[in-house]
Amino acid sequence: MRLNLILALSLLACLTFSLAKDQRRPLARGRRRGVGPKRARKQTSNTEAESNGQDGSVFIESYKNTMEPKPNYKVTAAKSEHCLFRGITMYDKTVWSPKPCVNCLCSNGEVVCDRILCPTLQCLLKFQPIGECCPICIDTVVDAPEFSGDPPSANDLGDPYTEISQSQRDKKETLKKDEEERIHKKDAERKQRKKQKKEEAERQRKLKEAKEAREKEEELRRLREEEEERAATAERKRRMEEQRRAEEDRARRLEMEQKEMIRALEEVAEHAQEGLRGDEAMVWLRGDVFQMPPVSPTRAAHPQPPLLALQEPTEPDEDDHELGKEGPEPEEESEMVTTLLPPGCSISDVTITCENAKLMGIPPLSIPELKSLSLQGNEIKTIPAGAFNGIPNLEWIDLGKNKIVSSGIGPHAFKGLKFLSRLYMDGNLLEQIPSELPSTLQELKINENNLKEIEENSFEGLSSLVTLEMEGNLLSEGNMNPQAFKPLKELSYLRLGRNHFRTIPQGLPASLLELYLENNLIEEISETAFNHTTNINLVVLRHNKLDESSIAPLAWINHRNLESVDLSHNNFYLVPSFMPKSLVHLVLAGNQIERIPGYVFAHMEPGLEYLYLSYNKLDGDGIEPESFFGTLGTMTELCLDHNQLTSIPVGINEMTTLHFLRLNNNKIRQISEDAICDPSNEDDSHLVALRLENNFLDPRKIPPTAFSCVRSYSSVVLKPQRIK
């Protein structure tokens, strides 16, 4: 009997092991291959069973306790140990999943079902697949446990799920370690990124500090250069003032000396009348006046012919001394050669003027102290080398209106003039700038010539040149070298009017203060036109071909010293925008201007003072309420005459500093009480002159207080008016 019981238990154990093994193998294959929803559900059920208990016995006991959560399915009772479920016979201890998330067990002929409890996952990223009842980790993959084909040991027979639970715990430990490593790695990466960001921020900060330091240094350098430039300008003005004073002192001194010479000449004449002869009668004068020796009355009737040079007095020969009484009479021995200037020449102080004297060449004068020489309006064609050897102290030469050609000027014609400061050569036939001009030259005028080219070395050595005039020539941006002005470190005034320029010449010197380019063909002003002329104060561009679209926005808007711009007689239809901020004086007369845009003067500091818009096409709709914004507290003189205005423009009554207002020659028919003067303004009268003639006004209909801000009613011009 005992033997039969042992055999029955052994058989039951073998059967249970076989069933458990068959149940586990399909689960593993299904998990590895991922085929079929039934296998996945079995896998989920087995995994849940393994995770809920510490070993296999706990899992089995959970199903034996049938009093815990009631299943959703009916428990089918069977007479035998086998279970019948939906027409299918299940062996005892068989586990299956009829629906997702539901597991059933055949226990002693009864079917017990329960829902699957999901395990607690340790991962960060979870996902619940479609058809599954529990979420899974998507950042790590857990393979199903593998089972070897070796037969189980004796201990495994009684506890079939022990091996799976142990393997699952190992997997969990491994996953936990992997998760910790991954978290540690992410922390390290986060710290590395934070460190990189900090380093990048530090680098950006250093770059910003370096940039600010460079900008500060650049600003200091610019301020230093401006200060040096101002100091240089002040020094230059001081030198010019000292030079002017020295010239005045020299002129006064020479005038006194001249008076003394004249008195000496008078004394000589008196001695001549008294009959004085010989050495006592000879008076040697300075070289800056002509020597006038006494002449006897008998010789005065036959004067010597005029000479072109001064002659030294003749000394008596030794032969004459030896002849004694046989020589000429004492009267004849004392005679001197009379030396006169060429016809048409005159002398005054230290200046010789030979204008329109029909001279064919430079007179060979020999007066070392001569300072000024005017040879204007003659027929001079050449200037040979050594032409000024006898007058080396010349400071001013005027050779205008002659016929001098470039090939007729000797290479060293002006080289010996160490004090020459002014040279005028207007109205000749020059095609090039004369070479080897003195370095002391401060003013050079070559207007109305045939200059066709300005080379790079045309002004070489003229570092003291202040004024340069080349108007009325054949110059253009194509034949003027941009490097030509480089040696002119002191150039302040440049005149290039009446030439053929289409753009602003390049290479203008930084010292330039005034630029005249009237009567050219200029069509545009580029952004780089005045980049280097930061000290320029005046630009004259009248009678060109400019319009409001031809001035680049950054051409001169940021110039701090540009106060006066003349754009009259161009092709403007609007008052141009982007004018210099520092502008004080703007001339736009003689254009086609029909409108003054609003706020066009608002950016100017401190503000526009003189605005000339005469001879344009402004009408009643062309001036907006904001047109004069920015000038209301600075406008001094406003000219709107010779337009088509039908009423007083808005904003004039708000100009508190306006002195002169011209509205004549328009179509104004009436003047309201507050059109020109603001009645609410109790300040003193500020208008000095007001012109309203040649309109359509009836003086009898003008309100009595319309001119209350005018200082004197006599300065209001109302007559004549046009006939209606």
What is the average pLDDT across 425-447? Answer: 94
Confidence bin at 102 (pLDDT 50/70/90): confident
pTM: 0.56
Q: Check residue 169 and give its pLDDT.
A: 76
Q: Check residue 375 and give its pLDDT.
A: 94
Average pLDDT in the chain: 78
298/640: higher pLDDT? 640
| Least confident stretch, 281-285, 338-342, 632-636 | 281-285
Cβ contact 461:420 at 8 Å: no
What is the average pLDDT across 428-443? Answer: 94
Q: Check residue 426 and give its pLDDT.
A: 96
Q: Is 227 exposed, middle or buried (0-12, 13-18, 19+ CB in 10 A)?
A: exposed
Confidence bin at 303 (pLDDT 50/70/90): very low
3-state secondary structure at position 217: helix
Q: Check residue 487 and give its pLDDT.
A: 94
Q: Check residue 48 and give its pLDDT.
A: 43
Residue 466: count of CB within 10 angstroms of its CB: 19
The share of the chain scoring above pLDDT 90, in percent, equals: 42
Q: Tens digit of pLDDT for each residue in 450-492?
A: 999 999 999 999 999 999 999 999 999 999 999 999 999 999 9
Cβ contact 471:497 at 8 Å: yes
Q: Residue 694: is its pLDDT beyond 60?
A: yes
d(C-alpha 153, C-alpha 55), whole Å: 16
70/267: higher pLDDT? 267
Cα 63 versus chain centre, distance: 89
What is the average pLDDT across 649-659? Answer: 92
Q: Check residue 505 and give its pLDDT.
A: 94
Q: Is 61 exposed, middle or buried (0-12, 13-18, 19+ CB in 10 A)?
A: exposed
Confidence bin at 82 (pLDDT 50/70/90): confident
Q: Tens digit of pLDDT for each residue in 224-238?
A: 888 888 888 888 888
Cβ contact 622:648 at 8 Å: no
d(C-alpha 64, C-alpha 297), whole Å: 173
Confidence bin at 144 (pLDDT 50/70/90): very low
